[in-house]
Amino acid sequence: MKSVRIPGPNEKLKVVESETPKPQDNQVLVKVKAVGVCHSDLHLWEGGYDLGDGQFMKVTDRGVKYPVTPGHEIVGTVEDIGSNVSGISRGDQVLVYPWIGCGVCPACKVGNENLCDTPKSLGVFQDGGYSDYSLIPHSKYLAKLDGVDPESATSLACSGLTAYTAIKKSNQNSPEFLVIIGAGGLGLMGVQIAKAITKAKVICVDLDDQKLETAKEMGADFILNSKDPETSKKIISICNNKGADSVVDFVNAPPTAKLGLAVLRKRGNLVLVGLFGGSIEMSLVTIPLKSIIIQGAYTGNYTDMVELMDLARKGVINPMISKRYSLDDANAALEDLKARKILGRAVINP
Ligand code: NAD
Ligand code: ZN
Protein backbone atom coordinates (compact mmCIF):
# COMPACT_ATOMS: atom_id res chain seq x y z
CA MET A 1 0.00 0.00 0.00
CA LYS A 2 0.98 3.60 -0.49
CA SER A 3 0.98 6.01 2.46
CA VAL A 4 2.06 9.57 3.08
CA ARG A 5 3.89 9.87 6.39
CA ILE A 6 5.26 12.68 8.55
CA PRO A 7 8.92 11.65 9.09
CA GLY A 8 9.36 14.10 11.99
CA PRO A 9 8.23 17.59 13.09
CA ASN A 10 8.32 20.13 10.23
CA GLU A 11 9.85 17.60 7.81
CA LYS A 12 8.29 17.26 4.35
CA LEU A 13 5.73 14.47 4.14
CA LYS A 14 7.09 11.36 2.44
CA VAL A 15 5.40 8.80 0.19
CA VAL A 16 6.12 5.31 1.52
CA GLU A 17 5.26 1.90 0.02
CA SER A 18 4.64 -1.01 2.42
CA GLU A 19 2.93 -4.38 2.38
CA THR A 20 -0.87 -4.12 2.58
CA PRO A 21 -1.85 -5.65 5.95
CA LYS A 22 -4.14 -8.66 6.23
CA PRO A 23 -6.83 -8.05 8.89
CA GLN A 24 -6.84 -10.49 11.83
CA ASP A 25 -9.60 -11.30 14.37
CA ASN A 26 -11.70 -8.10 14.82
CA GLN A 27 -9.69 -5.96 12.42
CA VAL A 28 -11.03 -4.48 9.19
CA LEU A 29 -9.05 -3.32 6.17
CA VAL A 30 -10.60 -0.21 4.58
CA LYS A 31 -9.75 0.98 1.07
CA VAL A 32 -9.65 4.75 1.61
CA LYS A 33 -11.84 6.78 -0.70
CA ALA A 34 -11.38 10.19 0.95
CA VAL A 35 -9.65 11.55 4.02
CA GLY A 36 -10.26 15.04 5.43
CA VAL A 37 -7.38 17.45 5.95
CA CYS A 38 -7.81 18.87 9.45
CA HIS A 39 -5.95 21.73 11.10
CA SER A 40 -4.95 19.19 13.77
CA ASP A 41 -2.87 17.43 11.07
CA LEU A 42 -0.97 20.72 10.84
CA HIS A 43 -0.32 20.76 14.60
CA LEU A 44 0.93 17.17 14.30
CA TRP A 45 3.16 18.23 11.42
CA GLU A 46 4.50 21.14 13.49
CA GLY A 47 5.20 18.75 16.36
CA GLY A 48 2.93 20.24 19.01
CA TYR A 49 0.97 23.11 20.48
CA ASP A 50 1.76 26.67 21.52
CA LEU A 51 1.29 26.90 25.31
CA GLY A 52 2.06 30.63 25.41
CA ASP A 53 4.94 32.44 27.13
CA GLY A 54 7.40 30.75 24.77
CA GLN A 55 6.36 27.26 25.95
CA PHE A 56 5.58 24.46 23.50
CA MET A 57 3.79 21.17 24.21
CA LYS A 58 5.49 18.50 22.12
CA VAL A 59 3.19 15.79 20.78
CA THR A 60 6.01 13.28 21.41
CA ASP A 61 5.57 14.00 25.15
CA ARG A 62 1.89 13.03 24.71
CA GLY A 63 2.80 9.67 23.15
CA VAL A 64 3.04 10.43 19.40
CA LYS A 65 5.77 8.45 17.66
CA TYR A 66 7.22 9.61 14.33
CA PRO A 67 7.14 8.61 11.55
CA VAL A 68 3.35 8.67 11.58
CA THR A 69 0.67 8.56 8.87
CA PRO A 70 -1.77 11.41 9.62
CA GLY A 71 -5.47 11.47 8.71
CA HIS A 72 -8.36 10.94 11.13
CA GLU A 73 -11.36 11.76 8.88
CA ILE A 74 -11.45 8.49 6.94
CA VAL A 75 -14.16 7.22 4.57
CA GLY A 76 -13.74 4.12 2.44
CA THR A 77 -14.91 0.72 1.33
CA VAL A 78 -14.39 -2.45 3.36
CA GLU A 79 -11.78 -4.45 1.45
CA ASP A 80 -11.24 -7.35 3.86
CA ILE A 81 -12.32 -8.44 7.35
CA GLY A 82 -10.78 -10.49 10.18
CA SER A 83 -12.26 -13.85 11.21
CA ASN A 84 -14.26 -12.47 14.20
CA VAL A 85 -15.93 -9.57 12.39
CA SER A 86 -19.71 -9.57 12.17
CA GLY A 87 -22.17 -6.93 10.97
CA ILE A 88 -19.68 -5.50 8.46
CA SER A 89 -19.05 -7.05 5.04
CA ARG A 90 -16.68 -6.56 2.15
CA GLY A 91 -17.89 -3.75 -0.09
CA ASP A 92 -19.65 -1.78 2.70
CA GLN A 93 -19.04 1.97 2.52
CA VAL A 94 -18.01 3.19 5.96
CA LEU A 95 -16.99 6.19 8.03
CA VAL A 96 -14.24 5.40 10.56
CA TYR A 97 -14.50 6.55 14.19
CA PRO A 98 -10.88 7.53 14.89
CA TRP A 99 -10.93 8.54 18.59
CA ILE A 100 -10.00 5.10 19.88
CA GLY A 101 -9.38 4.65 23.61
CA CYS A 102 -7.99 1.95 25.91
CA GLY A 103 -11.47 0.54 26.63
CA VAL A 104 -10.96 0.27 30.42
CA CYS A 105 -10.44 3.79 31.86
CA PRO A 106 -13.41 5.67 33.43
CA ALA A 107 -14.07 7.63 30.20
CA CYS A 108 -13.96 4.58 27.93
CA LYS A 109 -16.24 2.65 30.30
CA VAL A 110 -19.03 5.19 29.75
CA GLY A 111 -18.50 5.32 25.98
CA ASN A 112 -16.35 8.46 25.82
CA GLU A 113 -13.30 6.89 24.20
CA ASN A 114 -12.43 10.35 22.83
CA LEU A 115 -11.57 11.38 26.41
CA CYS A 116 -9.49 8.26 27.20
CA ASP A 117 -6.56 8.55 29.64
CA THR A 118 -4.26 6.76 27.17
CA PRO A 119 -5.66 7.55 23.71
CA LYS A 120 -4.81 5.53 20.63
CA SER A 121 -6.48 7.80 18.06
CA LEU A 122 -5.99 6.95 14.40
CA GLY A 123 -3.87 9.45 12.51
CA VAL A 124 -2.32 10.70 15.75
CA PHE A 125 -1.11 7.91 18.04
CA GLN A 126 -1.35 5.22 15.35
CA ASP A 127 -1.29 5.39 11.58
CA GLY A 128 -4.27 7.08 9.93
CA GLY A 129 -5.83 7.59 6.55
CA TYR A 130 -3.33 9.49 4.36
CA SER A 131 -2.98 6.12 2.65
CA ASP A 132 -4.75 3.98 0.08
CA TYR A 133 -5.56 1.40 2.79
CA SER A 134 -6.19 1.81 6.51
CA LEU A 135 -6.23 -1.04 9.04
CA ILE A 136 -8.96 -0.43 11.62
CA PRO A 137 -8.37 -2.27 14.93
CA HIS A 138 -12.03 -3.29 15.45
CA SER A 139 -15.20 -3.29 13.37
CA LYS A 140 -17.01 -1.44 16.21
CA TYR A 141 -15.20 1.74 15.05
CA LEU A 142 -17.02 1.73 11.71
CA ALA A 143 -20.39 3.22 10.79
CA LYS A 144 -22.07 2.42 7.47
CA LEU A 145 -22.69 5.46 5.28
CA ASP A 146 -26.17 4.27 4.22
CA GLY A 147 -26.77 7.20 1.90
CA VAL A 148 -24.46 9.87 3.32
CA ASP A 149 -22.27 11.34 0.57
CA PRO A 150 -18.81 9.76 1.07
CA GLU A 151 -16.72 12.94 0.82
CA SER A 152 -19.05 14.97 3.05
CA ALA A 153 -19.01 12.11 5.56
CA THR A 154 -15.27 12.56 6.22
CA SER A 155 -16.04 15.79 8.14
CA LEU A 156 -18.39 13.93 10.46
CA ALA A 157 -15.51 12.05 12.14
CA CYS A 158 -13.76 15.18 13.39
CA SER A 159 -14.78 18.68 12.35
CA GLY A 160 -18.51 17.93 12.45
CA LEU A 161 -18.27 15.72 15.51
CA THR A 162 -16.20 18.24 17.48
CA ALA A 163 -18.55 21.04 16.49
CA TYR A 164 -21.54 18.89 17.54
CA THR A 165 -20.05 18.21 21.01
CA ALA A 166 -19.13 21.88 21.44
CA ILE A 167 -22.50 23.24 20.30
CA LYS A 168 -24.30 20.79 22.62
CA LYS A 169 -22.19 22.15 25.51
CA SER A 170 -22.92 25.73 24.45
CA ASN A 171 -26.65 24.97 24.41
CA GLN A 172 -26.81 23.98 28.09
CA ASN A 173 -28.00 27.48 29.07
CA SER A 174 -30.47 27.68 26.13
CA PRO A 175 -28.71 30.69 24.57
CA GLU A 176 -30.62 33.46 22.87
CA PHE A 177 -27.34 34.69 21.32
CA LEU A 178 -24.49 32.31 20.46
CA VAL A 179 -21.14 33.57 19.18
CA ILE A 180 -19.07 31.25 16.99
CA ILE A 181 -15.43 32.29 16.59
CA GLY A 182 -13.66 30.85 13.52
CA ALA A 183 -15.39 29.99 10.24
CA GLY A 184 -12.98 27.26 9.13
CA GLY A 185 -13.61 23.53 8.86
CA LEU A 186 -14.95 23.31 12.41
CA GLY A 187 -16.65 26.70 12.62
CA LEU A 188 -18.73 26.28 9.46
CA MET A 189 -19.98 22.93 10.75
CA GLY A 190 -20.64 24.69 14.07
CA VAL A 191 -22.84 27.31 12.38
CA GLN A 192 -24.96 24.66 10.61
CA ILE A 193 -25.27 22.51 13.73
CA ALA A 194 -26.14 25.52 15.90
CA LYS A 195 -28.94 26.48 13.50
CA ALA A 196 -30.16 22.86 13.51
CA ILE A 197 -30.13 22.02 17.23
CA THR A 198 -30.35 25.34 19.15
CA LYS A 199 -32.83 28.20 19.13
CA ALA A 200 -30.01 30.77 19.27
CA LYS A 201 -29.28 33.67 16.94
CA VAL A 202 -25.81 32.87 15.64
CA ILE A 203 -23.09 35.54 15.42
CA CYS A 204 -20.03 34.32 13.50
CA VAL A 205 -16.59 35.97 13.76
CA ASP A 206 -13.50 35.41 11.58
CA LEU A 207 -10.66 37.42 10.00
CA ASP A 208 -11.58 36.41 6.47
CA ASP A 209 -14.56 37.99 4.66
CA GLN A 210 -14.98 35.12 2.21
CA LYS A 211 -15.26 32.60 5.05
CA LEU A 212 -17.72 34.91 6.80
CA GLU A 213 -19.88 35.13 3.64
CA THR A 214 -19.94 31.32 3.55
CA ALA A 215 -20.95 31.29 7.23
CA LYS A 216 -23.86 33.57 6.33
CA GLU A 217 -24.92 31.24 3.50
CA MET A 218 -24.82 28.39 6.01
CA GLY A 219 -27.20 30.17 8.36
CA ALA A 220 -25.26 32.65 10.52
CA ASP A 221 -27.60 35.51 11.48
CA PHE A 222 -24.77 38.03 11.90
CA ILE A 223 -21.17 38.02 10.62
CA LEU A 224 -18.34 40.21 11.92
CA ASN A 225 -14.71 40.55 10.87
CA SER A 226 -12.63 40.72 14.07
CA LYS A 227 -10.00 42.88 12.32
CA ASP A 228 -12.49 45.63 13.27
CA PRO A 229 -11.42 46.93 16.73
CA GLU A 230 -15.10 47.60 17.54
CA THR A 231 -16.01 43.89 17.23
CA SER A 232 -16.68 43.24 20.91
CA LYS A 233 -18.81 46.42 21.21
CA LYS A 234 -20.77 45.42 18.11
CA ILE A 235 -21.41 41.92 19.44
CA ILE A 236 -22.66 43.26 22.78
CA SER A 237 -24.93 45.66 20.98
CA ILE A 238 -26.40 42.86 18.81
CA CYS A 239 -27.02 40.92 22.05
CA ASN A 240 -29.44 43.56 23.40
CA ASN A 241 -26.50 45.30 25.12
CA LYS A 242 -26.26 42.46 27.65
CA GLY A 243 -23.68 40.25 25.94
CA ALA A 244 -23.72 36.74 24.51
CA ASP A 245 -25.19 33.81 26.43
CA SER A 246 -22.66 31.40 24.93
CA VAL A 247 -19.44 31.61 22.93
CA VAL A 248 -17.77 28.71 21.12
CA ASP A 249 -14.16 29.51 20.22
CA PHE A 250 -12.96 27.29 17.36
CA VAL A 251 -9.67 29.22 17.20
CA ASN A 252 -8.76 29.60 20.89
CA ALA A 253 -5.79 31.93 20.60
CA PRO A 254 -5.19 34.98 22.85
CA PRO A 255 -7.19 37.50 20.74
CA THR A 256 -10.19 35.17 20.32
CA ALA A 257 -10.29 33.94 23.92
CA LYS A 258 -10.11 37.58 25.10
CA LEU A 259 -12.94 38.48 22.73
CA GLY A 260 -15.00 35.54 24.00
CA LEU A 261 -14.58 36.58 27.63
CA ALA A 262 -15.24 40.25 26.80
CA VAL A 263 -18.60 39.62 25.13
CA LEU A 264 -19.90 37.00 27.58
CA ARG A 265 -22.88 38.10 29.65
CA LYS A 266 -23.61 37.22 33.26
CA ARG A 267 -24.20 33.43 33.60
CA GLY A 268 -22.52 33.02 30.21
CA ASN A 269 -20.90 29.87 28.90
CA LEU A 270 -17.55 29.82 27.05
CA VAL A 271 -16.57 26.64 25.20
CA LEU A 272 -12.93 26.47 24.08
CA VAL A 273 -12.27 24.13 21.16
CA GLY A 274 -9.45 25.37 18.92
CA LEU A 275 -5.84 24.41 19.50
CA PHE A 276 -4.17 27.49 18.01
CA GLY A 277 -2.95 28.04 21.58
CA GLY A 278 -1.12 30.67 23.56
CA SER A 279 -2.06 32.04 26.97
CA ILE A 280 -4.00 34.96 28.45
CA GLU A 281 -4.28 36.71 31.79
CA MET A 282 -7.72 36.77 33.39
CA SER A 283 -9.11 38.97 36.13
CA LEU A 284 -10.31 36.33 38.56
CA VAL A 285 -13.14 38.14 40.35
CA THR A 286 -15.20 38.48 37.19
CA ILE A 287 -15.62 34.71 37.01
CA PRO A 288 -17.58 34.34 40.27
CA LEU A 289 -19.23 37.75 40.00
CA LYS A 290 -20.57 36.96 36.53
CA SER A 291 -20.91 33.26 37.42
CA ILE A 292 -19.60 32.22 34.03
CA ILE A 293 -18.68 28.72 32.89
CA ILE A 294 -15.43 28.10 30.97
CA GLN A 295 -15.11 24.61 29.54
CA GLY A 296 -13.22 22.65 26.92
CA ALA A 297 -14.56 20.31 24.25
CA TYR A 298 -12.53 17.58 22.60
CA THR A 299 -13.84 15.68 19.54
CA GLY A 300 -16.85 13.48 20.43
CA ASN A 301 -18.01 9.94 21.08
CA TYR A 302 -19.17 7.23 18.65
CA THR A 303 -22.86 7.70 19.51
CA ASP A 304 -22.67 11.40 18.65
CA MET A 305 -20.98 10.54 15.34
CA VAL A 306 -23.87 8.23 14.46
CA GLU A 307 -26.43 10.93 15.45
CA LEU A 308 -24.59 13.40 13.27
CA MET A 309 -24.62 11.01 10.30
CA ASP A 310 -28.38 10.93 10.68
CA LEU A 311 -28.55 14.74 10.51
CA ALA A 312 -26.43 14.61 7.32
CA ARG A 313 -28.63 11.86 5.86
CA LYS A 314 -31.70 14.06 6.42
CA GLY A 315 -29.93 17.00 4.76
CA VAL A 316 -30.10 19.09 7.97
CA ILE A 317 -26.33 19.62 7.75
CA ASN A 318 -24.26 19.71 4.57
CA PRO A 319 -20.51 19.57 5.16
CA MET A 320 -18.63 21.73 2.67
CA ILE A 321 -15.83 20.05 0.69
CA SER A 322 -14.18 22.68 -1.50
CA LYS A 323 -10.92 21.11 -2.68
CA ARG A 324 -9.50 17.69 -3.55
CA TYR A 325 -5.87 16.51 -3.61
CA SER A 326 -4.09 13.29 -4.56
CA LEU A 327 -1.89 11.49 -2.01
CA ASP A 328 1.19 12.81 -3.82
CA ASP A 329 -0.06 16.35 -3.18
CA ALA A 330 -0.48 15.95 0.60
CA ASN A 331 2.27 18.53 1.28
CA ALA A 332 0.37 21.09 -0.81
CA ALA A 333 -2.87 20.24 1.00
CA LEU A 334 -1.32 21.05 4.38
CA GLU A 335 0.47 24.16 3.06
CA ASP A 336 -2.80 25.48 1.58
CA LEU A 337 -4.60 24.92 4.89
CA LYS A 338 -1.82 26.72 6.74
CA ALA A 339 -2.07 29.66 4.31
CA ARG A 340 -5.84 29.79 5.05
CA LYS A 341 -6.67 29.04 1.40
CA ILE A 342 -9.22 26.31 2.18
CA LEU A 343 -12.91 27.08 2.47
CA GLY A 344 -14.64 24.49 4.71
CA ARG A 345 -12.73 21.27 4.24
CA ALA A 346 -10.27 19.81 1.72
CA VAL A 347 -10.00 16.06 1.24
CA ILE A 348 -7.29 13.78 -0.10
CA ASN A 349 -8.47 11.09 -2.53
CA PRO A 350 -5.84 8.32 -2.43
P1 NAD B 1 -9.20 25.85 9.81
O2 NAD B 1 -7.80 26.19 9.48
O3 NAD B 1 -10.07 25.17 8.81
O4 NAD B 1 -10.01 27.15 10.31
C5 NAD B 1 -9.51 28.11 11.20
C6 NAD B 1 -10.32 29.39 11.02
O7 NAD B 1 -9.98 30.30 12.06
C8 NAD B 1 -10.06 30.11 9.70
O9 NAD B 1 -11.28 30.45 9.08
C10 NAD B 1 -9.28 31.36 10.12
O11 NAD B 1 -9.50 32.46 9.26
C12 NAD B 1 -9.84 31.60 11.50
N13 NAD B 1 -8.94 32.36 12.39
C14 NAD B 1 -7.62 32.15 12.62
N15 NAD B 1 -7.16 33.05 13.52
C16 NAD B 1 -8.20 33.83 13.86
C17 NAD B 1 -8.36 34.95 14.74
N18 NAD B 1 -7.34 35.42 15.45
N19 NAD B 1 -9.59 35.51 14.85
C20 NAD B 1 -10.64 35.03 14.12
N21 NAD B 1 -10.55 33.98 13.27
C22 NAD B 1 -9.34 33.39 13.14
O23 NAD B 1 -9.07 24.95 11.14
P24 NAD B 1 -10.09 23.84 11.70
O25 NAD B 1 -9.78 22.53 11.05
O26 NAD B 1 -11.45 24.42 11.72
O27 NAD B 1 -9.53 23.70 13.19
C28 NAD B 1 -9.59 24.82 14.08
C29 NAD B 1 -8.81 24.51 15.35
O30 NAD B 1 -9.49 23.48 16.07
C31 NAD B 1 -7.39 23.96 15.10
O32 NAD B 1 -6.52 24.45 16.08
C33 NAD B 1 -7.59 22.46 15.24
O34 NAD B 1 -6.41 21.77 15.58
C35 NAD B 1 -8.58 22.44 16.39
N36 NAD B 1 -9.33 21.20 16.54
C37 NAD B 1 -9.76 20.93 17.79
C38 NAD B 1 -10.48 19.78 18.01
C39 NAD B 1 -10.97 19.45 19.37
O40 NAD B 1 -11.48 18.35 19.54
N41 NAD B 1 -10.91 20.34 20.34
C42 NAD B 1 -10.78 18.91 16.93
C43 NAD B 1 -10.36 19.25 15.65
C44 NAD B 1 -9.65 20.42 15.46
ZN1 ZN C 1 -9.51 16.89 13.09
Domain boundaries, the chain: 2-158+300-348, 160-296
Asked whether 35 and 347 are in contact (CB, 8 A), the reply is yes
- pLDDT band of residue 89 (cuts 50, 70, 90) is very high
CATH of domain 2-158+300-348: 3.90.180.10
**Which residues line the pocket of ligand 1, CB cutoff 6 A?**
38-40, 43, 158-159, 162, 181-187, 205-208, 211, 226, 250-251, 253, 255-256, 273-276, 297-299, 337, 340
- Strand, helix or coil at 258? helix
CA–CA separation, 223 and 337 (whole Å): 22
Q: How far is the CA of 72 from the centre of ligand 2 (A)?
A: 6
Dump the DSSP string for 55-84: EEEEGGGGT--SSB----EEEEEEEEE-TT
The distance from CA 143 to its chain's CA centroid, rounded to whole angstroms, is 18
Asked whether 105 and 54 are in contact (CB, 8 A), the reply is no
CA–CA separation, 57 and 46 (whole Å): 11
| pLDDT tens profile 151-199 | 999 999 999 999 999 999 999 999 999 999 999 999 999 999 999 999 9
- Could you tell me the end-to-end alpha-carbon distance of the chain, in angstroms, rounded to an integer? 10
The pLDDT mean for the chain works out to 97
Alpha carbon nearest to ligand 1 atom 28, residue? 274
- Closest Cα partner for 112 from 301, 340, 329, 305? 301
Task: For residue 215, report the phi and psi dihedrals to the nearest 5 degrees.
Answer: -60, -40
Q: Give the atom of ligand 1 at the shortest distance from the alpha carbon of 39.
A: 25
Which pTM value belongs to this model? 0.96
Q: How far is the CA of 182 from the centre of ligand 1 (A)?
A: 6
Ligand nearest to the CA of 334: 1
Phi-psi label, residue 174: left if phi above 0, alpha if psi -120 to 50, beta otherwise:
left
Report which secondary-structure segment, H or E, holds 154: helix 150-154
Question: Can you name the CATH fold of 160-296?
Answer: Rossmann fold (3.40.50)
Phi-psi label, residue 45: left if phi above 0, alpha if psi -120 to 50, beta otherwise:
alpha
| pLDDT tens profile 282-295 | 999 999 999 999 99
| pLDDT tens profile 1-38 | 999 999 999 999 999 999 999 999 999 999 999 999 99
| pLDDT tens profile 227-283 | 999 999 999 999 999 999 999 999 999 999 999 999 999 999 999 999 999 999 999
Report which secondary-structure segment, H or E, holds 287: helix 286-290
Confidence (pLDDT) at 281: 94
Ligand nearest to the CA of 276: 1
Residues present in the chain in total: 350
